[in-house]
Structure 1
Amino acid sequence: MRRCVAAVVLLSLLSGGLSAPLSRCDSLVKPITLSKEDLLGRWLYIGGTSNLPGSRSVIHLLTSVWVNFNATAQSNVLELIQSQRIFGKCSSITFNMAFENSTLSLEQPFHLKEVYLPTSCSDCLVVYEDVTFGKDAFTSLMLFSRRQSVSPDVVEAFKTQAECLRMLTPIMIDTDYEICPVDASPTDGLSGIQAVTSLFEATMGIGVGLGLLDSFFDTFVN
């Protein structure tokens, strides 16, 4: 079940050069300003892409994901709850992250930085995240919405953003699914940070094999 956690750590900041027209990419990948209030509440996962080994395999297997941002007693700290369904079973993780200057971040036990990109969808959230674990760095791009599905135009714009960032084509999940309940069991009985850390440790040990698995799913699934 630790593989489920990969779906939430699928995030990215700008990487190498751009393949779409530069002028178009400039407007699509420039981070936007969001307030804490803009983030609060539940967001349903629509699709994403990441270079974290094994992440694309997990996205192909996921049938439901949502995240919920809650305010805490500290003005610059948000509680993040994520629930996901894989192989028919729901599980969840919970942990706190700092939110300042339109950036969500975590410094220990690994570095995570998340920013948000433009979208024409008024109730959508396009997320870029950069994660560093030891000497390894990963990037991801995700699309969330307050609704269970979005228009084809929104999906195409999201895919263009991935192209501008030289990322693999995003994998969109089937939107005809049952949303996991709020009280889903914690992943593997671990705290959120412990679960994500365990995922990274396992990934580093079998990175090449997971990369091959990703290629298999991209070729033969969906």
Structure 2
Amino acid sequence: MRKCVAAVVLLSLLSGGLSAPLSSCDSLVKPITLSNQGVLGKWLYIGGTSDLPGSRSLMTLMTSIWVNFTETAQSNVLNIVQTQRIFGKCFSVTMNATFENSSLSIEQPFHLKEVYLPTKCSDCLVVYEDVVFGQDTFTSLMLFSRSQSVSPDVVEEFRTQAECLRIPPPTMIDTDYELCPEDTSPVDVHSADNPLTAEAMIRVAKLLDTFFEIFIN
């Protein structure tokens, strides 16, 4: 599935504050080496930031997100299931992704490539990704954990990484939530009859932005 379903995550404008020292940024945003074994299993979404259309409104509507990476018959291909709760109802999508040279990528229904950044949390995954819809490229930074919550210093480190990357500050999810069950039937984004084309995703995302601005802000 894909954490990709990309569309998931958040906020708006850079807050005015002191910038992180360049020396600390170098180590915080340098991609780490990671094997596919390092990403396998279930990860709970903790927070993130993105300039994807609809990311802020989606983050407001979603009350829980988890992703699960499993191996396939091909050594460099992983299956991903992403499940989220929106308006109290659970939805799930699944997709295959290529994992090579410490990075993960998919080509359909949109192009996405992600790498992993350092974190002081041994049970966490910091994901930095580029998502391409047509001629447009968007950036997301997300924090996942094996646990439902992480320590404040891990969150602070994650916020500093966003600052170093000069992207909007992350929004963290409310950790007091109920996870969606693992038996939620997923939609395969690679299926020929799947309505989740890149164009459809952008249209829905823009509608969500409009809804958010009118009724939430």
Counterpart Cα distance in 2 of 1:206 and 1:167: 23
SS in 2 for 1:83: strand
Counterpart Cα distance in 1 of 2:28 and 2:194: 29
User: Which residues of 2 match residues 156-195 of structure 1 at below 5 A?
Assistant: 156-186=156-186, 190-193=187-190
Kindly tell me: are residues 87 and 206 of structure 1, through their superposed partners in 2, closer, same or farther at Cα, counting changes over 3 Å? closer
Amino acid at match of 1:36: N
Q: Does 1:198 align with 2:187?
A: no
Map of 1:112 onto structure 2? 112
Counterpart Cα distance in 1 of 2:108 and 2:175: 34
SS in 2 for 1:121: coil
Map of 1:13 onto structure 2? none
Q: Greater share of helix residues, 1 or 2?
A: 1
Q: Does 1:132 align with 2:129?
A: no
Counterpart Cα distance in 2 of 1:24 and 1:216: 40
Q: Does 1:81 align with 2:81?
A: yes
Map of 2:32 onto structure 1? 32
Map of 1:15 onto structure 2? none
Counterpart Cα distance in 2 of 1:172 and 1:140: 14
Counterpart Cα distance in 1 of 2:35 and 2:53: 32
SS in 2 for 1:85: strand
SS in 2 for 1:141: strand
* Structure 1: 4+ residue segments shifted above 6 A: none
Are the equivalent residues in 1 in contact too, given 2:110–2:198 (CA < 8 A)? no
Q: TM-score, normalised by structure 2?
A: 0.85
Are the equivalent residues in 2 in contact too, given 1:31–1:115 (CA < 8 A)? yes
Unaligned runs of 5+ in 1: 11-18
Kindly tell me: are residues 145 and 135 of structure 1, through their superposed partners in 2, closer, same or farther at Cα, counting changes over 3 Å? same
Q: 1:89, CA displacement in angstroms?
A: 0.5
Map of 2:13 onto structure 1? none
Amino acid at match of 2:113: K
Amino acid at match of 2:189: G
SS in 2 for 1:156: helix
> What is the aligned-residue RMSD (CA, Å)?
2.6
Q: 1:201, CA displacement in angstroms?
A: 1.4
SS in 2 for 1:52: coil
Listed one character per residue, the Cα deviations across residues 95-126 of structure 1 (whole Å, up to 9, x for unaligned) are 11000110001124421101000000000000
Kindly tell me: are residues 199 and 107 of structure 1, through their superposed partners in 2, closer, same or farther at Cα, counting changes over 3 Å? closer
